[in-house]
Chains A and B, each alone.
Chain A
Amino acid sequence: MASTLAAEAAEPAPSRARRIVPPAAIFLILALLPVVAALARQQYLVDLATRVMVYAVAAVALDLLVGYGGLISFGHAAFIGLGAYAVGILSAHGIGDALIALPTAIIAAMLFAWLTGIVCLRTKGVYFIMITLAFGQMIFFVATSLAPYGGDNGLTIAARNTVAGFALMKSDRGFYYVTLVCLLATYLFCRALVASRFGRVLRGGKQNATRMATIGFTIRRFQLVAYIITGGLGGLSGFLLANSAEFVSPAYMSWQQSGELIVMVILGGLGTLHGAIIGTAVYLVAEEWLSGITENWQVIFGPLLVLAVLFARGGLLGLGSTLRQRLSEGGGNG
């Protein structure tokens, strides 16, 4: 009894450090990476990290929905695609400034999330997965049939968006830091959201929906707002993706892409937010590295993923804390 009391009393301090140190370290590494890459003359690192951060924006948002809301959305790529197409279509009409393209990307994605969310959230569990997948595929096929905007082949963007007339994102390093700021803002926003009144209701709904209803919450309204927010952040990710690639393709919103995002979030550790960044990095770096070894890199990555899910419940972050616990328990016994 005394030991459990001591453990409870000792809990807050390390957990506070654990809440601040890892995400701070992640962002510090990301902030310094271009400098290191320049010194080491490894420019491809900047490109790779940009890709990681672009997808991490969407993955962090997806973690909000899956990890905190308990809603497994299999159509998250649709929001990325909508954001990307907003940039592409506006650019095709000569509108190339982020002041217009960015709000359009986010609002288009939020609107789609709102309209589909109303329907999707009438279902639960596996049906929710299937219906989000169905809506995702719907928008995918709309994009492939958009003949004026490239259809199947996609759409090349003339130049990256300017920001209020400034070519802030023109250089790869400039774009890198814009993306980093977007990721940091997304992370901090989601983190505030999770701790807020709204976030607490969302988390409560994941744990026990009946209890939440009987104390007076209409959980579905909170889930819908979370779905819309997640959609908007997916739109932001799409905005960045279109600008980084200077190209838009229906492939951005394929269901495989939605699946990869879920893998990224689960790999890093659900319900941690910064775990989603780690998961995205590990996934994309592994893809890069393994595809250098063999074209069929999934053959290697698949089994690794199975092992990660089997032995690292709670993702890579969970693995870290399990190891730490084992070590400290071992130290206590010995």
Chain B
Amino acid sequence: MAEPLLHLQGLCKNFGSLVVTDDVTLDVHAGEMHALIGPNGAGKTTLINQMSGLIAPDAGTVVFAGDDITALPPQTRALRGMSRTFQISSILPGFPVVENVALAVQARSGSSFRFFGDAAAEPALNIPAMAALEAAGIADRANARAGELSHGEKRALELAIALAMRPRLLLLDEPMAGIGRDETERLVNLLLGLKGQLTMILVEHDMAAVFALADRISVLIRGRLLTTGSPAQVRADPQVVAAYLGEQME
């Protein structure tokens, strides 16, 4: 078996007396779509934050592509090929949509310590940015101010930003949260199209989407990893059904 792209070893995180990540050890293999499910407050977002570097774990290590990145800040992880979306859209509201994405391209295209020349007019940044917007399905809104987008469009913009970084690992924190059924369907199809091209970790409450997309599923309950397995295994696991899926299915 090849070495996993992302390896979490004994990750622990407490917020005061609250245990949010409890000795989590997890492998995510290159090319797989790995879903992370569990009830609210299970520590899914906290786990994603420890992967992307926004929160430092109290104990344990994060290994990405063979390197221990536990101590690296989020920007270094981003440049090494990790990109993410946020549960609550995190964009630059005052910037045009296309510039939100062009900045992600700029981060990995030459030096940004250039003091002259209009960055917004650089084709080398705008063409890949437009391609990412196209892929996310909001190219027609390229010149709107990002803050004026609808909720669903903001979700799509986040995805375009993440894709423009050409990541090896894409962390998706509830990308379907609060968007309509049509948009969910479009997003599922988009992610299906990306499957195999890059490795993805998907945190999601929409179980139809999770079971349509995931190669493997990990179930997190109160910070502990309950089980990891194929969708069929997880669906049939009585522990999972009792702890989480039961209430989701009914």
Report B118 CB to chain A, min CB distance, Å.
5
Q: Closest chain B residue to A211 by CB distance?
A: B90
Set A8, A208, A216: member contacting B90, Cβ < 8 A: A208
Report A279 CB to chain B, min CB distance, Å.
21
Report B211 CB to chain A, min CB distance, Å.
28
Would you list which residues of chain A between 201 and 222 have a CB under 8 Å from chain B?
201, 203-204, 207-208, 210-218, 222
Q: A195-B120, A200-B99 are in contact. Are A216 and B107 (CB under 8 A)?
A: yes
Q: A8-B144, A214-B74, A214-B83 are in contact. Are A196 and B93 (CB under 8 A)?
A: no
A8 to B143, CA, bound (A): 8
A199 to B134, CA, bound (A): 26
Which residues of chain A are near B84, meaning CB under 8 Å?
214
Identify whether the interface residues of B are mostly helix, strand, loop, or mixed. Answer: loop
Mark the stretch among B21-29, B109-117, B198-206 that contacts chain A.
Answer: B109-117
Identify whether the interface residues of A are mostly helix, strand, loop, or mixed. Answer: helix
Which residues of chain A are near B144, meaning CB under 8 Å?
8
Q: A214-B54, A215-B103, A216-B165 are in contact. Are A196 and B119 (CB under 8 A)?
A: yes
Set A8, A214, A225: member contacting B113, Cβ < 8 A: A225
A199 to B112, CA, bound (A): 9
Q: Closest chain B residue to A208 by CB distance?
A: B92
A198 to B119, CA, bound (A): 8
A217 to B112, CA, bound (A): 9
Are A196 and B115 touching (Cβ within 8 A)? yes
A323 within 8 A of partner (CB): no
Would you list which residues of chain B between 143 and 169 have a CB under 8 Å from chain A?
143-144, 161, 165
B70 within 8 A of partner (CB): no
Which residues of chain B are near A200, meaning CB under 8 Å?
99, 103, 106, 112, 119-120
Which residues of chain B are near A214, meaning CB under 8 Å?
52, 54, 74-75, 78, 83-84, 90
A192 to B120, CA, bound (A): 12
A122 within 8 A of partner (CB): no
Report B4 CB to chain A, min CB distance, Å.
22
Report A67 CB to chain B, min CB distance, Å.
12
Q: A214-B83, A215-B107, A215-B161 are in contact. Are A204 and B112 (CB under 8 A)?
A: no
Are A199 and B161 touching (Cβ within 8 A)? no
B104 within 8 A of partner (CB): yes
Q: Closest chain A residue to B144 by CB distance?
A: A8
A295 to B80, CA, bound (A): 62
A-B contact count (CB 8 A): 98
Set A198, A208, A217: member contacting B91, Cβ < 8 A: A208
Are A215 and B83 touching (Cβ within 8 A)? yes
Set B73, B93, B114, B165: member contacting A215, Cβ < 8 A: B165
Report A222 CB to chain B, min CB distance, Å.
7
Report B166 CB to chain A, min CB distance, Å.
11
Q: A204-B95, A204-B103 are in contact. Are A218 and B113 (CB under 8 A)?
A: no
Which residues of chain A are near B54, meaning CB under 8 Å?
210, 213-214
A218 to B119, CA, bound (A): 18
Report B206 CB to chain A, min CB distance, Å.
23
Set B79, B94, B116: member contacting A216, Cβ < 8 A: B79
B195 within 8 A of partner (CB): no
Q: A200-B120, A207-B93, A207-B95 are in contact. Are A213 and B112 (CB under 8 A)?
A: no
A93 within 8 A of partner (CB): no
Set A204, A208, A215: member contacting B78, Cβ < 8 A: A215
Which residues of chain A are near B111, meaning CB under 8 Å?
197
A195 to B103, CA, bound (A): 13
Report A63 CB to chain B, min CB distance, Å.
16
A217 to B109, CA, bound (A): 12
A207 to B165, CA, bound (A): 19
Are A197 and B106 touching (Cβ within 8 A)? yes
Report A273 CB to chain B, min CB distance, Å.
15
Report A204 CB to chain B, min CB distance, Å.
5
Are B115 and A192 touching (Cβ within 8 A)? yes
**Can you report 21 residue pairs joining A to B where beta carbons are below 8 Å apart?**
A8-B143, A193-B115, A193-B116, A195-B119, A196-B115, A197-B113, A197-B119, A198-B114, A198-B115, A200-B112, A200-B119, A203-B95, A204-B103, A207-B92, A211-B92, A213-B73, A213-B75, A214-B54, A214-B90, A217-B75, A218-B73
Residues of B within 8 A of A (CB): 52, 54, 73-75, 78-79, 83-84, 90-95, 99, 103-104, 106-108, 111-120, 122, 143-144, 161, 165
Known A197-B112, A204-B95, A217-B75; further 4 A-B contacts with Cβ < 8 A: A8-B143, A197-B114, A213-B78, A218-B73
